[in-house]
A and B are shown apart, each in its own frame.
Chain A
């Protein structure tokens, strides 16, 4: 049973516009959430995280929003750049020991 779901396998946006990547989770015990970015032939790299005590965390062009009641989080990238083209994974943890990953969303930013 997949506890973290990314229902959009792919997303295409124009350079300079906003990219919104979504993630849903089922386990109400999750209290820490992360986003990773993955380029081909490389391991995932950490992008941004959020604790359940917050509903928003911002780092430069990247903002993560958390809606606990809906068990939903989203990653906003503004403005999108061609170098942002990658696969994005969301991940969640209840105990800071074990992390559950979604299946990923492939973002394509068109010049």
Chain B
């Protein structure tokens, strides 16, 4: 299967801990997006990469959040000092520049206790 994959699918952590999520996009896609989705809401844009360059970050992305895409392939999203308000589904999507259809992964569900 060559779709977008995310790991882990579920993460339970205690408040104050750091967590890291991984996203593997479709291999030929040069754009990678991170979204956050809370219950009853649609995906909210967090940040996106074109190749290895992070081109835009949402104001929602506090200093505790950092994302990387070091070689323009997979990406990681790290949340430091997690808070209960960080509990959400974190979605990754990829696309090719000029093609507006984004392919989403299954998401990582984060629960902060």
* Chain B residue with the shortest CB-CB distance to A34: B100
Query: Which of under 10, 10 to 19, 20 to 34, or 35 or more describes the interface residues of A?
Result: 20 to 34
Please name all residues of chain A whose beta carbon is closer than 8 Å to the beta carbon of B98 when the two chains form the complex.
96
Q: Would A97 and B55 be within 8 Å (CB), given that A103-B40, A104-B42 are in contact? A: yes
Contact across chains for B100 and A103 when beta carbons are under 8 A apart: no
Instruction: Tell whether B66 is near chain A: CB-to-CB under 8 Å.
Output: no
Complex: how many Å from CA A70 to CA B45?
25
Contact across chains for A43 and B106 when beta carbons are under 8 A apart: yes
Please name all residues of chain B whose beta carbon is closer than 8 Å to the beta carbon of A93 when the two chains form the complex.
100
Contact across chains for B100 and A49 when beta carbons are under 8 A apart: yes
Interface residues of B in 81-112 (CB under 8 A from A): 91, 93, 98, 100-107
B92 CB, nearest partner CB in chain A, Å: 8
Instruction: Tell whether B32 is near chain A: CB-to-CB under 8 Å.
Output: no
Instruction: Tell whether B4 is near chain A: CB-to-CB under 8 Å.
Output: yes
Interface residues of A in 58-105 (CB under 8 A from B): 89, 91, 93, 96-104
Contact across chains for B100 and A43 when beta carbons are under 8 A apart: no
Residue positions of A touching B, CB distance < 8 A: 4, 6, 9, 32, 34, 36, 41-46, 49, 89, 91, 93, 96-104
What would 20 A/B residue contacts be, using CB atoms closer than 8 Å?
A: A32-B100, A43-B4, A43-B91, A43-B105, A43-B107, A44-B91, A45-B103, A45-B104, A46-B103, A49-B100, A91-B42, A93-B100, A96-B98, A97-B55, A97-B56, A98-B48, A99-B33, A100-B45, A101-B43, A103-B40
